[in-house]
Structure 1
Amino acid sequence: MNTSTLLLGVLFSSIGFGYFLYGKKQKRTVPFACGLILIIFPYFIDQMALLLIIGSVISIVPYFVRW
């Protein structure tokens, strides 16, 4: 693990924490689930490019899926 993957993990976990809190307060499933996924997935992915792609896709899902 290098510095860039560590910082990307912190960034996506922070975004995930925000989605998690929003989904919990508003009782919305999609932001809540995306938040949990964004908090957990950086622990399992070591490649920086894959981390960036997956994190970016999951981060924009709540904007397009209103559920």
Structure 2
Amino acid sequence: MDMPSPANLFGMLVFGIVGLAAFRYGKKRHSGLPMIIGTLLMVYPYFVSTTVLMYLVGLALCAGLYFLRDRF
């Protein structure tokens, strides 16, 4: 089993923190969409093996969180 690269660890940390903040925001506002996106942001790095794909998926989820903020 190989250790993840520093870039991979950094991405996991950053997207995990953003996911936790989105989840807590959704829980506080009783809104399901930020809770779902937050959970996805916290969990998906464990299933994505390449760093580039991890950053692309994370940025897409963060963009979805940003652009769908009016629906909360």
TM-score with structure 2 setting the length? 0.86
**Runs of 4+ with deviation above 6 angstroms:** none
Alignment match, 2:20: 17
Counterpart selection for 2:37 from 21, 34, 38: 34
- Equivalenced residues, count: 67
Superposition CA RMSD, Å: 1.0
Structure 2: runs of 5 or more not aligned: none
Which has the higher relative contact order, 1 or 2, with Cα contacts under 8 A spaced 6 or more apart? Answer: 1
Identity between Structure 1 and Structure 2 (%): 28
TM-score with structure 1 setting the length? 0.92
Structure 1: runs of 5 or more not aligned: none
**Largest Rg, 1 or 2:** 2
